[in-house]
Amino acid sequence: MSSPDTCVHCNLPIPPADLVVDQIDGKELHFCCHGCQGVYRIITGAGLESFYRNRTWDEQGVPSGAFEADYDEASLAGHVIRRDETTADISLIIEGIRCASCVWLLEKLLVREAGVTAIRVNYGTHRAVIRFNPQATTPAKIFSAISRLGYLPHPFSPGAAQQAAAREQRSLLIRFGTAAFLSMQLMGFSFALYGGYFHGIDPEIRQLIQYFAAAVATPVVFYSGWPFLAGAWRSLKNRSASMDLLISLGVSTAYCYSIYAMFKGGEVYFDTSAMIITLILLGRLFESSARNRSISGIDKLLRLAPDSASRVDGDEVNTVASASLVPGDTILVRPGERIPVDCQVLSGDTEVDESTVTGEPMPILRQAGDKVSAGSLNLSTSIRLKVEKVAAESFIARMARLVEEAQNRKAPIQSMADRVATLFVPLVTTIAIGTWAFWWFSGASHGEALLNAVSVLIVACPCALGLATPTAVLAASGNAAGKGILFRGGDILELTSRVDLIAFDKTGTLTHGQPTVEQIIPASGQTETTLLELASRAESGSSHPLAMAVLASAKTAGIQPGPAGLVTAVPGRGLKMQCKDGEILAGSRTFLTESGVEVPTIDSGTRTEVHLSLGGVWQGLLLLHDPLRQEAQQTVRELKKLGLDMVLLTGDRPETAQQVSENLAMPDYQANMSPADKTAWIETRQGDNHTVMMVGDGINDAPALSLADVGCAMAGGTDIALETSDLVLTRPDLESLHIAIFIARKAMQVIKQNLFWAFSYNLVTIPLAASGKLAPVWAAAAMAGSSILVVSNSLRLGRLVRRTFSVAKPPASD
């Protein structure tokens, strides 16, 4: 599970100076710090060592500052929901959950805490609800227990909007479940009635079965179908036609006519109304579960900035709420902690992971006088900072506002189904009224005129029309999900098919977002292997992305680093290691030159150099860069074939952007783009009547993702990017993107075919019904036929997708 040089608990490489050796159960175990040793003892002491067998990740652990967190009883009290004297609930979000074992560990260990009665951790959303006895424990104690395990708990009170969404989802599920259950019953009754129609049936029994059919159909129409009826009423009030109106019109005429026919001894059509509602509810259920996967992106963004900060007041350091910091305060940020508000560095040199701000994975050196943004992660040393902006004005809050604005600005689109309804509803109503008027004035009885008008409404009943879109959307999203593509709704499918311009973020999207060793240039007399061994020995204790890349490359080459010595890291420069062969220096050109090593000039282009020297003699250099994804070139080619324009939007330097765009044969690029620039750029293009898709992965892309017509994020990107996007590629594979567009376009094609068929069916049957020549039972048969046609046409999508992409991609090794 863990090799000898990594920590048993957190899997981080152990800096030789920090090695902690412990004897547990007669085995010698290595830890990187006493914190990890302590946690290991807690876990094994509780008899839960199977966690180490169960866990499936081999990545490095949680931010090291996490253990020192202090929890303020007063601020947590507001999040507690009291149920009675001895029971209370608290909701929280637990950061650091990586796999199901984490959930298991948290549940098992917390329930052993005194006073905790129950806990349930949601694996998908990382939310947890803990029920405890407020007389036996306090929220702060529970929070400390969680952080002792190495997870970061945040109190969380779901906003009104989220609670509403969750309730909505549940009520939809119940409505659908009810509709499905009753429709199944109804089908039994209808089956008897069909049989009776062809073979004869005792009118008394027929009436009886019709009563039962009415009894089960009524709740479907009025309870399950309530969202449609309410929607229809709303659109009537607004004097606009919508799909809801069309569905309600069809459902209610079929239902009302059936009630009338039941008493008059005619044929009933309860099954039609129930089936439409059931199928369309199923479609909505899929859509809303894709939409509500998780809490909203804005919330996740806001909790990137820590809730509490360590304020330096004279000689003491106090833990205060980040919101209470005012400009001019001095705060202390330890390594592993995130910076709570926008600040200026007062003292201390450190490396800061600013990937939240810029999207770039490389840490940046920050020294006294430099500015740092809220949400960035302090990596190497403790620093003192002067607060420059209050929390509400800081980077993270500004970002959240940008996302919110972008979401509000995005105009809701009128879906194709609604556009059809706008045309169709007035048309059918006019024809029905016309029919009634015609028969009334040509001297037919009142009943006959009404019957003909109703049969127009029934045959025009949007059975096929109502199913045209939802079934195609269902088939498309189902098949897309199998290919690792998640469309968050039918409108997204439609928008994706219309996309004509794709904007790509660079780091993490077109590239892997992690540097790798690309070239090894040894000095004369050295081999690549010895150089790589030297490098990996020097870097073995570091968690810097460059060091990780060197170690990974050494591991691939099968090189065991030699015994390490005492390491001194110089932030932003490199590191020094004393070992028996002399002093090893690994780092930038300036670092080595300043230390008196002669370094030859080598043109490395846009790549990052790591120079190495041993005992003051230059040994060679490694060239690292962030490589393009393997499939990127192929994807760009495929997308071009589909006739799409593409552009690269990056916060990186123009040279790098140019190089990437040349490699990919992507003609257009924009470099040095801030998050706000990206949104502005997209907005301009949308103004020129482009339908823009943005593909990105970082927090800095979030506003652009929410503004773009279709925001697309890939698994492996940040949670916030995934939350703010409409289209999610659940595998870190760019190739799915062109499959997504293919599926979307095919789905729209199928929807159009379906609509065309539904219209031609109406074109034939409406005149027949208006002239009173269509027996209701034939109308019903034709209706069923057209529905079957529409459904099977939609199902064709699945075969189409399988046929097109089954050979193209070997099955993922699982």
Partner 1 sequence: MIKSIVILIVLSLCIGTGAWLIFIWTVKRGDFDDVEGPKYRMLDDDENNSSPPGTSQGEKK
Fill in the per-residue mask, 96 to 125: x = in contact with partner 1 (CB under 8 A), - = not in contact: ---xx--xx--xx--x-----xxxxxxxxx
**Which is nearest to 659 in space by CA: 602, 601, 607?**
607
Contact (Cβ atoms closer than 8 angstroms) between residue 106 and residue 151: yes
Binding of partner 1 by 604 (CB under 8 A): no
Binding of partner 1 by 177 (CB under 8 A): yes
Tell the smallest beta-carbon distance from residue 813 to partner 1 (Å): 20
Question: How far is the C-alpha of 122 from the C-alpha of 129, rounded, in Å?
Answer: 9
The residue (of 50 and 407) whose beta carbon lies closer to partner 1 is: 50
**Which is nearest to 130 in space by CA: 107, 114, 104?**
107
Pairing mode of beta strands 343-347, 371-372? antiparallel
Contact (Cβ atoms closer than 8 angstroms) between residue 366 and residue 352: yes
At position 630, the amino acid (one-letter code) is Q
Select which of 299, 505, 701, 733 is catalytic: 505
User: 42 CB contacts (<8 Å, ≥6 apart)?
Assistant: 109, 148, 149
DSSP structure class, residue 224? I
Contact (Cβ atoms closer than 8 angstroms) between residue 292 and residue 124: no
What's the gap between Cα 754 and its chain centre?
A: 31
The residue (of 121 and 622) whose beta carbon lies closer to partner 1 is: 121
Question: How far is the C-alpha of 692 from the C-alpha of 705, rounded, in Å?
Answer: 10
Fill in the per-residue mask, 78 to 97: x = in contact with partner 1 (CB under 8 A), - = not in contact: ---x-------x-x------
For the chain, how big is the Rg over CA atoms in Å? 33
Binding of partner 1 by 131 (CB under 8 A): yes
Tell the smallest beta-carbon distance from residue 303 to partner 1 (Å): 17
The residue (of 158 and 266) whose beta carbon lies closer to partner 1 is: 158
Binding of partner 1 by 372 (CB under 8 A): no
The residue (of 208 and 437) whose beta carbon lies closer to partner 1 is: 208
Binding of partner 1 by 208 (CB under 8 A): yes
Select the span of 177-185, 464-472, 590-598, 652-660 touching partner 1 (CB under 8 A): 177-185
Residue 635 has a CB neighbour count (10 Å cut-off) of 24
Tell the smallest beta-carbon distance from residue 143 to partner 1 (Å): 17
Tell the smallest beta-carbon distance from residue 183 to partner 1 (Å): 11
The residue (of 129 and 346) whose beta carbon lies closer to partner 1 is: 129
The residue (of 125 and 530) whose beta carbon lies closer to partner 1 is: 125
The residue (of 64 and 183) whose beta carbon lies closer to partner 1 is: 183
Contact (Cβ atoms closer than 8 angstroms) between residue 381 and residue 335: yes
| 558, burial (CB in 10 Å: exposed 0-12, middle 13-18, buried 19+) | exposed
404 in helix, strand or coil? helix
Question: How far is the C-alpha of 68 from the C-alpha of 9, rounded, in Å?
Answer: 18
Tell the smallest beta-carbon distance from residue 62 to partner 1 (Å): 20
What's the gap between Cα 91 and its chain centre?
A: 21
Site for partner 1 in 385-424 (CB under 8 A): none
Select the span of 183-191, 500-508, 598-606, 703-711 touching partner 1 (CB under 8 A): 183-191
Positive/negative CA dihedral, 212, 217, 222, 224: positive
Contact (Cβ atoms closer than 8 angstroms) between residue 310 and residue 318: yes
Q: How many residues bind partner 1 (CB under 8 A)?
A: 41
Site for partner 1 in 47-76 (CB under 8 A): 50, 54
Binding of partner 1 by 205 (CB under 8 A): yes
At position 151, the amino acid (one-letter code) is Y
Side-chain half-sphere CA neighbours of 222 within 13 A = 8
Tell the smallest beta-carbon distance from residue 489 to partner 1 (Å): 19
Q: What is the largest CA-CA distance in the chain?
A: 114
Binding of partner 1 by 685 (CB under 8 A): no
Is 505 one of the catalytic residues?
yes
The residue (of 154 and 745) whose beta carbon lies closer to partner 1 is: 154
Determine if residue 809 is left, alpha or beta; phi over 0 gives left, psi from -120 to 50 gives alpha, anything else beta: beta
Fill in the per-residue mask, 509 to 548: x = in contact with partner 1 (CB under 8 A), - = not in contact: ----------------------------------------
Among 21, 166, 392, 788, binds partner 1 (CB under 8 A): 166
The residue (of 88 and 339) whose beta carbon lies closer to partner 1 is: 88
Binding of partner 1 by 429 (CB under 8 A): no
Instruction: Return residues touching partner 1 (CB under 8 A).
Output: 50, 54, 81, 89, 91, 99-100, 103-104, 107-108, 111, 117-125, 127, 129-131, 158, 166, 170, 173-174, 177-178, 181, 184-185, 188, 204-205, 208, 212, 216
Residues classed as catalytic: 505
